[in-house]
């Protein structure tokens, strides 16, 4: 495979990879507050996009809009060829294709880990319990905690719970994974175990959009970085260009505050 100097990443995306997310001129308001302003973003299959930006800049709103957790007022969103409209069938299809992992793990506290991971496929994909549980066990293996299957969330560490949340999202066999600050609620010693799982997922070819403040992860794993500020995309570039030669003053300021 041809390799372009300086752009080598862990991912599997090439210029020929099909477009899987296409956002054009997206705008969203909360009442009078214009929180997403003319945002355009095209993502190819297998690409890993890391979204950065100050608190309140619209990062969460943006990725929540992509799988219809938030409404938007103008522009278009297309996920794997399906346009996100009011049509509930489209919304359901898009939700099936996009797994989401939040800062708070949101596991069901009264259910075992195995149940947490196998529940949605049984209900939404209509899989038989046996098949769903077998896949759930494989996913727990993949995120490195097969021995936790019969425990309850409260018996696990934060890092383990977040890995369960990733397994739960993967159980629906999504084509895209959205992460909203997945390590921000974790004790520092647990951050890497979650980032490692995400890195493996990226290597396996998953398309990912990740909101994070983990700059090591961003530099190593992202194909492209996006800086949000006040609802706008200010800069979009590969990691080397973004960190070493940012074009915009606001990017330089942002980097000077966090690095
Ligand atoms: P970020 O994730 O970058 O911190 P958010 O997307 O959470 O930013 O928020 C963007 C802006 O929208 C902020 O000004 C925030 O206060 C506002 N906002 C977020 N959620 C709501 C809501 N449900 N209702 C009204 N305003 C909101
Ligand atoms: Mg946020």
- Ligand 1 centroid–CA 58 distance in Å is 6
Cα gap 165→135, rounded to integer Å: 15
Q: Which residue has the higher pLDDT, 63 or 5?
A: 63
Residues in contact with ligand 1 by the CB-under-6-Å rule are: 30, 33, 35, 53, 55-61
- Mean pLDDT value across residues 125-135: 95
- Which residue do the tokens 């700059």 mark? 215
CA of 130 to the centre of ligand 1 (A): 41
Q: Give 1's pLDDT tier (boundaries 50, 70, 90).
A: very low
Centre of ligand 1 to C-alpha 42, Å, is 23
Mutate to test the pocket of ligand 1, among 31, 51, 58 (most ligand atoms within 8 A of CB): 58
What is the percent of the chain with per-residue pLDDT over 70, rounded to a whole number? 96
Three-state DSSP string of the chain:
CCCCCCCCCCCCCCCCCCEEEEEEEEEEEECCEEEEEEEEEEEECCCEEEEECCCCCCHHHHHHHHCCCCCCCEEEEEECCEECCCCHHHHHHHHHHEEEECCCCCCCCCCCHHHHHHHHHHHCCCCCHHHHHHHHHHHHHHCCCHHHCCCCHHHCCHHHHHHHHHHHHHCCCCCEEEEECCCCCCCHHHHHHHHHHHHHHHHCCCEEEEECCCHHHHHHHCCEEEEEECCEEEEEECHHHHHHCCCCHHHHHHHHHHC
Q: pLDDT (tens digit, 9 = 90+) per residue, 202-213? A: 999 999 999 999
Closest ligand 1 atom to 58 CA: 6
Cα of 64 vs centre of ligand 1, distance in Å, is: 11
Report the alpha-carbon distance of residue 171 to residue 138 in Å, rounded.
Answer: 10
Nearest CA to ligand 1 atom 24: 30
Return the ligand 1 atom nearest residue 70 CA: 23
CB 90 within 8 A of CB 79: no
pLDDT at res. 12: 73
Q: Give pLDDT tens digits for 156-198.
A: 999 999 999 999 999 999 999 999 999 999 999 999 999 999 9
Give the mean model confidence (pLDDT) for residues 139-154.
97
Cα-to-centroid distance, 118 and ligand 1 (Å): 32
How high is the ipTM of this complex? 0.98
What pLDDT is attached to residue 63?
A: 97
């Amino acid at each position: 495979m041809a390799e372009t100097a300086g752009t080598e990443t862990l991912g599997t995306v090439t210029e020929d990879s099909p477009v899987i997310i296409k956002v054009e001129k997206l705008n969203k308001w909360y009442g009078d507050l214009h929180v997403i302003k003319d945002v355009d973003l095209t993502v190819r299959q297998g690409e890993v996009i890391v979204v950065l930006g100050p608190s309140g800049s619209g990062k969460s709103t943006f990725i929540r809009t992509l799988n219809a957790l938030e409404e938007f007022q103008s522009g278009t969103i297309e996920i794997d060829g399906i346009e996100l409209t009011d049509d509930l069938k489209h919304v359901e299809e898009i939700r099936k294709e996009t797994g989401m992992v939040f800062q708070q793990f949101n596991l069901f506290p009264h259910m075992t880990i195995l149940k947490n991971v196998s529940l949605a496929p049984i209900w939404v994909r209509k899989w038989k319990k046996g098949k769903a549980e077998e896949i759930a066990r494989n996913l727990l293996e993949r995120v490195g905690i097969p021995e936790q299957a019969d425990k309850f969330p409260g018996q696990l560490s934060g890092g383990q719970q977040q890995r369960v949340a990733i397994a739960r999202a993967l159980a629906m066999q999504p084509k895209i994974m959205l992460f909203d600050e997945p390590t921000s609620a974790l004790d520092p010693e647990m951050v890497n175990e979650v980032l490692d799982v995400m890195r493996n997922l990226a290597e396996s070819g998953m398309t990912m959009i990740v909101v994070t403040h983990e700059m090591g992860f961003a530099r190593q794993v992202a194909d492209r970085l996006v800086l949000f500020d006040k609802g706008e995309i200010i800069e979009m570039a590969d990691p080397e260009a973004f960190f070493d030669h940012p074009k915009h003053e606001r990017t330089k300021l942002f980097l000077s505050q966090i690095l």
